[in-house]
Amino acid sequence: MKPLPLVYAVLFAVAHTQSPLYYSNQNQYFLKGVAAGTDTPLSADWLVTTADPVPVFSGFVALCVRFVGEWPFQAVFFLALIGYFLAVWKLVQAVRPLPPGGGGLFAFLFTLVHAGALRWASDRLLGADYPWFFQCGLANQYLLGPGLQPSVVGVLLLWAVAEFAGGKPVRATALATGATLVHSTYLLPAAMLVGGFLVQLLREKNWKAAGWSAVVAVLFVAPAVAYILIVFAPTDAATFTESQRILAEIRIPHHCRPARWFDWAGGVQVAWMVLGLVLLRKTRLFVPLAVVSGLVLVGTVAVIVTANPTLSLLFPWRVTAVLVPVSTTIVLATATTQADKLSWRFTAQGLDEMGGSPIVTGVMMAIAFAVLVFASVGGVYGGELGYREPENETPLLAHVGGTRTADHVYLIPAKFPAPSKNFTGVYSKTFSTPDPTFSDLARFRLKTHARLYVDFKAIPYHDIDVIEWHRRVSHCQRWYASADWDATGIINEVAAEGVTHVIAPAGKPIRSSRLEVEFETPTHRLYRVR
């Protein structure tokens, strides 16, 4: 590896920024590992005892927490960011070699699109994080995200595309299918990519590479498939069908139903992917990615026509989390090449025509990177402009974390969101400022290491556990709809479920002779159940 691309990759990783622990989906994906790696009541939490969809990731988390600490989580994500950029660089060198002096411009443009500073500015000035749509796929599916989580292993799929473009089909297949060992949701995207690779290899009559690729694919996906069939086997047909409906229509319809996620931004992403495919038409990537795009289209149409929850939970469009970054890469690389041809004075050649030199080019790129990195790091970290959680939760979580015991089970006001009335699409909230009146206590478990009855965001995946999750959230929604828990008998139901503490919004207090206020803030009230 030449030093300059690695320098660009490090600058990219710094400017991208990452969330503090624990943020957003990390509150679910780190839960089992943290529980296994610590001696706290968390190990007895109901959700922790359910089947683990990402055992390899959970094992890694547990080992780190118990023997090393938490610092590897952010270090690994930093390395993933570097790997993401280097995969893109390799892809460019394989299909769209940059002109002399063009590497710096491409690296800057690619970093700019992903930088925390630009994404924050877009959110504040334009009302949405629009640069996000140039790296995420349809339905807000993504490889990187705000921080380390199982989906980050999807960077291997981007590497697979780069390796295939570079003439290493068997290695590409191993990388694509290897991602499934960590996150089984990549089974379908990996299958689509490998299918595209095989079509191209057969067109080239490269029978040997096609054969070995098929063998490698089967060997690498076998463990993930076996684990799913054994651990997540349907309890019975009715239970499985209902659990799939709950997940697709109640918990994550914004990821599963095209009518919920496809808006004008999704249309722009589709056009962007088509543009990328057109620019690749004379490369060996065109046929594989055209095959993948066709499969995405067929799968999406099938979801729309059948409205089948199980089919929608396969996320036929998830592979667009790879196609969009590939398109961004090719479009920016093409723009860099055209800039050189049109003598836009950004390249070494252009500066020479002005009487400059490559040294001037380097200085300009260094200044541009410095400004971008300073703005991202200083603003996002120093100014706390991104990855923010509701601050009104902090005093309550600190109290619970300092007083919880192994016998305590906490109840929070979980509920099902009201059906969306507006066609709004799915947007990133990473750089948005939290509503000061809103609190969903999504970080309750990992912040306090206390047992929780249920919350809406963190969910199980085995069918019988999904049914139980739905039952618990339904209870919460009904319980909190009443203010007098004695008159309705709710307090007896709550106690029968093993709840020892109840948390309610301060503006909606609960009345019961068996509830005693233990702690109170301007936004929350914590009761102890007698």
DSSP code of residue 503 = E
Strand order of the β-sheet with 524-529 is: 451-452, 409-411, 501-505, 524-529, 515-520
Q: Which is nearest to 300 in space by CA: 139, 142, 190? A: 139
- Cα 523 vs. chain centroid, distance in angstroms? 30
Q: Which is nearest to 137 in space by CA: 288, 269, 252? A: 269
Do the strands 524-529 and 501-505 form a parallel or antiparallel pair, or are they unpaired?
antiparallel
Q: Alpha carbon of 374 to those of 99, 105, 364, 367: distances in Å?
A: 28, 18, 15, 10
| Whether 321 contacts 158, CB under 8 Å | no
Burial of 446 (0-12, 13-18, 19+ CB in 10 A): buried
pLDDT greater than 80 at residue 421: no
Residue 384's contacts (CB-CB under 8 Å, 6 or more residues apart) are none
Confidence band of 101 (pLDDT split at 50, 70, 90):
confident
Q: Quick: pLDDT tens for 332-386.
A: 999 988 876 654 444 444 444 444 456 666 677 788 888 888 888 888 887 778 8
Burial of 374 (0-12, 13-18, 19+ CB in 10 A): middle
Cα separation, 165 vs 56, in Å, equals: 29
Q: Which is nearest to 95 in space by CA: 162, 168, 172? A: 162
Mean pLDDT of the chain: 92
Q: What is the pLDDT of residue 423?
A: 59
Q: Is the dihedral of CA 331, 332, 333, 334 positive or negative?
A: positive
Domains of the chain, residue spans: 3-21+70-336, 391-529
Q: What is the pLDDT of residue 40?
A: 94
Q: Which is nearest to 12 in space by CA: 67, 87, 85, 77? A: 85
Q: Alpha carbon of 185 to those of 92, 210, 317: distances in Å?
A: 27, 24, 12
Q: What is the pLDDT of residue 1?
A: 55
pLDDT greater than 60 at residue 521: yes
Tokens of 443: 């970080």
Q: Quick: pLDDT tens for 211-262.
A: 999 999 999 999 999 999 999 999 999 999 999 999 999 999 989 999 889 9
Residues 157, 271, 8, 123, Cα dihedral to 10°: -110
Confidence band of 33 (pLDDT split at 50, 70, 90):
very high
Tokens of 425: 């699409």
Q: Quick: pLDDT tens for 438-468.
A: 788 999 999 999 999 999 999 999 999 999 9
Q: Quick: pLDDT tens for 137-184.
A: 999 999 999 999 999 999 999 999 999 999 999 999 999 999 999 999
Q: Alpha carbon of 123 to those of 135, 269, 325, 385: distances in Å?
A: 16, 18, 20, 11
Cα separation, 421 vs 423, in Å, equals: 7
Q: Quick: pLDDT tens for 265-320.
A: 999 999 999 999 999 999 999 999 999 999 999 999 999 999 999 999 999 999 99
pLDDT greater than 70 at residue 47: yes
